[in-house]
């Protein structure tokens, strides 16, 4: 498909028909219409939570302040004390693992990285990985270079197994060694203002077999079409014998929609942050407050209360 002249044209919203193989739901629609506030969780849910799966940026780490608050750290420590294990599911890749570890005062058991493109254990041992194809990377790079002619402030990062490069430095990278490519618009302030970029990516790269999504109010990211957090967690759950009804999942972005639907469908605890996109909010059974208003800590406190109630 030929790249259009002005990538930021005001398209009607372009939506793919790609579905998660586990939850069988379109990534932009959900049958769920009601969401309960998180303080209802201990009164309603009937299964103990043994594993917390959490997004990182926008959920644990505040992307407005680039920090993890003290109450979030305390909540995670309190959760670990109750014998609940923690899995981080994030868009960050393997060579950003130290950044995640440095931000946290607890040690998660596993990391689902690159939106599900690879999984490591707490020691950093790689359990699974899948990259973009060389042809996919080439098509995205060609589009990205044309895009930057019109929007020079946009940052485009190519994230591989052992490197992160801006698109201007793409000539020397191994095209078959790339997990994901991220388009970051620092001037975007909401999921609504990032949509023109998303629509442009969908329109111009629709024939490349890609999974394209908004991961934050400032970022669109691209992985292979059969990669997402839902597929990754399902594979990990089989390996380590996790029971989905005993999992709580908390997140904020559209890249979490498939997994949120999957957890809710299988009677786990599905929680959207107060700063979540509207699409994700409609998928979750529960919602908590904004990340800047201790939303994550409040969610964890109610998971602990739920488990305490079910212990009697």
Same domain, 49 and 194: no
pLDDT in tens, 262-279: 999 999 999 999 999 999
Confidence at residue 16, expressed as pLDDT on a 0 to 100 scale: 34
For the domain that residue 295 is a member of, what is the CATH number? 3.40.50.1000
Closest CA to 164 of 98, 88, 66: 98
Residue 143: domain span: 134-224
Quick check: is 18 in a domain? Answer: no
Same domain, 220 and 232: no
Same domain, 218 and 232: no
Quick check: is 286 in a domain? Answer: yes
Q: Mean pLDDT, to the nearest integer, of 302-307?
A: 98
DSSP-derived 3-state class of residue 302: helix
pLDDT in tens, 133-150: 999 999 999 999 998 888
Same domain, 210 and 232: no
Provide the H-helix boundaries in the chain.
Answer: 41-44, 70-81, 97-103, 134-150, 191-204, 229-240, 257-265, 278-281, 295-310
- Which of 207, 224, 241 corresponds to the end of one domain? 224
For the domain that residue 152 is a member of, what is the CATH number? 3.30.1240.10
Number of domains in the chain: 2
Same domain, 115 and 239: yes
Same domain, 305 and 163: no
Same domain, 219 and 234: no
What's the chain's average pLDDT?
89
pTM: 0.87
Number of H helices, E strands in the chain: 9, 14
- Which of 224, 248, 278 corresponds to the end of one domain? 224
pLDDT in tens, 32-88: 457 999 999 999 999 999 999 999 999 999 988 999 999 999 999 999 999 999 999
Same domain, 154 and 203: yes
Quick check: is 64 in a domain? Answer: yes
Same domain, 101 and 168: no
- Which of 224, 253, 278 corresponds to the end of one domain? 224
20 — pLDDT class (breaks 50, 70, 90) = very low
């Amino acid at each position: 498909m030929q790249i259009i002249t002005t990538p930021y044209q005001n398209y009607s919203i372009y939506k793919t028909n790609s579905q998660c193989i586990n939850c069988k739901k379109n990534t932009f629609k959900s049958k769920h219409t009601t969401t309960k506030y998180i303080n209802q969780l201990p009164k309603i849910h009937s299964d103990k939570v043994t594993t917390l799966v959490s997004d990182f940026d926008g959920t644990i780490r505040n992307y407005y302040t680039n920090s993890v608050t003290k109450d979030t750290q305390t909540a995670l420590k309190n959760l670990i004390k109750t014998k609940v294990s923690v899995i981080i599911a994030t868009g960050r890749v393997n060579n950003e693992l130290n950044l995640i570890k440095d931000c946290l005062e607890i040690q998660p058991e596993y990391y689902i990285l690159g939106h599900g493109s690879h999984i490591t254990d707490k020691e950093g041992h790689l359990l699974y990985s899948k990259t973009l194809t060389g042809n996919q990377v080439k098509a995205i790079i060609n589009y990205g270079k044309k895009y930057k002619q019109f929007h020079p402030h946009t940052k485009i990062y190519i994230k591989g197994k052992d490197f992160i490069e801006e698109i201007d430095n793409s000539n020397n990278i191994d095209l078959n060694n790339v997990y994901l490519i991220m388009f970051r618009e620092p001037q975007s302030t909401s999921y609504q203002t990032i949509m023109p970029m998303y629509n442009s990516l969908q329109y111009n790269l629709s024939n490349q077999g890609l999974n394209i999504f908004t991961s934050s109010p400032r970022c669109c990211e691209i992985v292979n079409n059969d990669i997402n957090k839902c597929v990754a967690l399902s594979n990990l759950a089989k390996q380590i014998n996790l029971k989905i009804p005993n999992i709580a999942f908390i997140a904020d972005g559209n890249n979490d929609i498939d997994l949120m639907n999957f957890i809710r469908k299988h009677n786990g605890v599905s929680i959207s942050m107060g700063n979540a996109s509207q699409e994700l909010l409609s998928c979750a059974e529960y919602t908590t407050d904004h990340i800047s208003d201790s939303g994550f800590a409040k969610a964890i406190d109610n998971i602990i209360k739920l488990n305490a109630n079910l212990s009697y």
